[in-house]
Structure 1
Amino acid sequence: MSAIRKAGKAGAVCSVAAIIAMVIASGQVRTSEQGLELIGNAESCQRDPYKCPADVWTDGVGNTHGVKPGIRKNDAQIAADWERNILDAEKCVNRYADGDKLKQGAFDAAVSVTFNMGCPAMQKSTMFWMFRQGRITDGCNQLPRWVHADGKVLPGLVTRRNKEKALCLTP
């Protein structure tokens, strides 16, 4: 975690639950409330921009698009950014992992890892290939491989991938 995030301003944290409620109310995403909770709790919610472990400016709930250092966002802006990012991850899962054929838990887990790692990293992954082949359990078992950043295993990613795998294997 960067010094910028650690030093965060008072009131900079926002409620993941409130943002989830706003995204669900829009009715645009397929990702379930459980999937959104997994992603939101893993990412947390920050009103002020900060540098993530990959040294990328981030705000809201893991948003990296159009982040301007020093600009604090309100709940509506955070929810709109997150919804757009979730929809992008869903499009990637639908296109490259036959997401429309995945059960909800596998879809949610695939959206979570795609949200976190990005579509370019996931579209040619063994996991997505297995999903396209209908090998859902084998694909879910690939999740623990996605725990590295800058060549190092991040404990937070280990925890997240374990939760995604459990969700993915949900009947």
Structure 2
Amino acid sequence: MAIKKRIANSAICSVAVIISIVLANYSSEIRTSKAGLEIIGNAESCIREPYLCPANVLTVGIGSTTGNIENRYYSDDEIAQRWVDDIKTAERCVNRYAKGFHLPQSVFDAVTSITFNVGCAKIRTSTMYKYLNTGDYKAACNEFPRWNKAGGKELNGLVIRREKEKALCLSGI
């Protein structure tokens, strides 16, 4: 039992360490601030080896589901790079479909977090994005709690995440 537990715990990595690596080495590549990274990272957690998330999607690192995911342990640097690539994908979606370049930082961070989580294809035609495009940031921020399900089931972790995103979103308007 102790060996299995130790092996399982060794697969966990530190979100704070990954955020530090991202801020030190990749901050010029992304707009998402430390506050946004903390919401995403703490909600997703950090796991060094592939696993199935609650929506039954193969995942590694900090919520990375894209690209080739090999069945092995990933280093902090590999996790940071995958995460930056995924954050850049979410940011491109926010910029393209929600006038991201014009959003206040806290709104941008929160919207990038939810976009990272649910994917661009699902959210780009949402009511939230429509409000962002019209500049009604408060209404957009109030849409976060509606996105609390995975696989059709409400998840407590998503309820908590959406409240944090909503609070961050509202903090800058």
Query: By the TM > 0.5 criterion, same fold?
Result: yes
Q: 1:10 to 1:159 in 2, by over 3 A?
A: closer
The residue aligned with 1:164 is: 165
- 3-state SS of 1:64 partner: coil
Q: Deviations over 1:81-126 (max 9, x none)?
A: 0000001000000001101111011000000000000000111011
Q: Secondary structure at the match of 1:124?
A: coil
**What is the CA RMSD across the aligned residues, in angstroms?**
1.4
Q: Provide the rounded CA distance (Å) in 1 between the counterparts of 2:157 and 2:43.
A: 8
Which residue pairs with 2:21 in the alignment? 22
Separation in structure 2 between the aligned mates of residue 7 and residue 50 of structure 1, nearest angstrom: 17
Q: Distance in 2 between matches of 1:20 and 1:140?
A: 24
1:43 Cα deviation from its structure 2 partner: 0.2
The alignment of Structure 1 onto Structure 2 pairs a total of residues equal to 165
| Alpha-carbon offset, residue 7 of structure 1 | 10
Aligned partner of 1:99 in structure 2 is: 100
Q: Which residue of 1 aligns with 2:152?
A: 151
CA contact (8 A) 1:54 1:150 kept: yes
Runs of 4+ residues deviating >4 angstroms: none
- How do 1:11-90 residues align onto structure 2 when only pairs under 5 Å count? 11-25=10-24, 26-27=26-27, 28-65=29-66, 66-68=68-70, 70-90=71-91
Percent identity among equivalent residues? 51
Unaligned segments of structure 1, at least 5 residues: 1-5
**Residues 48 and 60, structure 1, Cα contact 8 Å, conserved in 2:** yes
Taking structure 1 as reference, are residues 7 and 161 closer, same or farther at Cα in structure 2, changes over 3 Å only? farther
Q: Distance in 1 between matches of 2:15 and 2:163?
A: 20
Partner SS for 1:9: helix
Shift, 1:14, TM fit: 0.5
Question: TM-score normalised to the size of structure 1?
Answer: 0.93
